[in-house]
Amino acid sequence: MSTYSLSDGLASGAPRLSRAPWLASWIRESGAGILASMAWIAFGLSCLWWEDVGDWSRTHSLGIAAFVIAAIALFGTVGADYLGSAGRALRQRAPWLVVLGVVLTLWEVATAKFAWLPLPFFPPPQSIIEVYTDDLPKLLDSVFASVKLQLGGYLIGATVGFLTGVSIGWSRAVGYWVHPVLRFIGPLPATAWLPIAFFTFPSSWSASTFLIALAAGFPVTVLTWSGVASVSNAYYDVARTLGAKPSFLVLKVAIPAALPHVFVGLFMGLGSSFAVLVVAEMIGVKAGLGWYLQWAQGWAAYANMYAALIVMSLLCSGAITLLFSIRDRLLVWQKGTVKW
């Protein structure tokens, strides 16, 4: 009986909901896109409506660009059904576009138009755009230098750390000698070595590479080691009864089983090596984004600092995305890994 009354209630409720179903679903699907478009029109208007309080050359182009983005947001979400996966992706991100548009509008008004925020320290959006267009070669050089230094140091550190970790985990003798050294040196922040490294190494570049490798190597070593040490003996027993030699036990049992730990180490090492990279570039290396930041501060070029910070954040985030996608590819056998 109770099921009867339940379905009756559902049936009587249905017509009320379906009075204008196309309108409801249209608003649900495209509403955020229309809002986003309005937010970006507001941003464009805020650029063009008032006079700038300072002298910035990109205000007009930025306003036009905001209108273009508003148009893309509008037509992209309304016509998403004809745009395939790009349309779906745009619809999904439309709420974020709304927030971005609103924040940019407030930023523009609070800096370039009415200077509510004190001026050289809080540059308006157009001055950051100006950095990207006018100072591009220097910025690109810095990006290239940073990537080169980071990549070299990190790869060396990760490789050495991985090999050390496997050897400590596998061999008692290696563990006996390396473990105390690791305990003594490892926890020391790599930046503490900076003053010594810069005069003992032949160049600031090799010193920084060493420090980045050190910062990346420690967590990779410890996590690889604990990964190898925690491999269940049952796996070795199975492999041995099937005729496995020691090399097979290391390469095909210990290392694959330890790989989830290794990736945690690689992730932690990446984070701490970023810190060393920036500090090393600020102190000793005459190139890279850290150096660019330092240089911009010297000239009180605050827009350049924000511009460099944004690039730096994109690079670090990109590096972590890359690492995670490699992990996801290698560890497909794991259930429920974290999505970055």
Residues lying near another protein in the complex (CB under 8 A) are found at 232, 234-235, 237-245, 248, 252-253, 256-257, 259, 331-335
What is the C-alpha separation between 283 and 274, in angstroms, rounded? Answer: 14
Of 228 and 303, the one with the shorter C-beta distance to another protein is: 228
State the nearest-atom distance from the C-beta of 331 to another protein, in Å: 8
Of 332 and 338, the one with the shorter C-beta distance to another protein is: 332
Of 23 and 242, the one with the shorter C-beta distance to another protein is: 242
State the nearest-atom distance from the C-beta of 208 to another protein, in Å: 36
What is the C-alpha separation between 153 and 214, in angstroms, rounded? Answer: 8
Of 268 and 331, the one with the shorter C-beta distance to another protein is: 331
Q: Which helix (H) or strand (E) holds 191?
A: none
State the nearest-atom distance from the C-beta of 131 to another protein, in Å: 47
State the nearest-atom distance from the C-beta of 267 to another protein, in Å: 19
State the nearest-atom distance from the C-beta of 235 to another protein, in Å: 6
State the nearest-atom distance from the C-beta of 242 to another protein, in Å: 4
| Cβ-proximal residues to 31 (8 Å cutoff; 6+ apart), any chain | none
Of 134 and 237, the one with the shorter C-beta distance to another protein is: 237
Q: How far is CA 201 from CA 161, 197, 229, in A?
A: 21, 6, 35
Tokens of 97: 């576009």
What is the C-alpha separation between 281 and 319, in angstroms, rounded? Answer: 18
What is the C-alpha separation between 38 and 315, in angstroms, rounded? Answer: 31
Residue for token digits 């924000």? Answer: 306
Q: How many CB atoms lie within 10 A of CB 256?
A: 15
Of 85 and 241, the one with the shorter C-beta distance to another protein is: 241
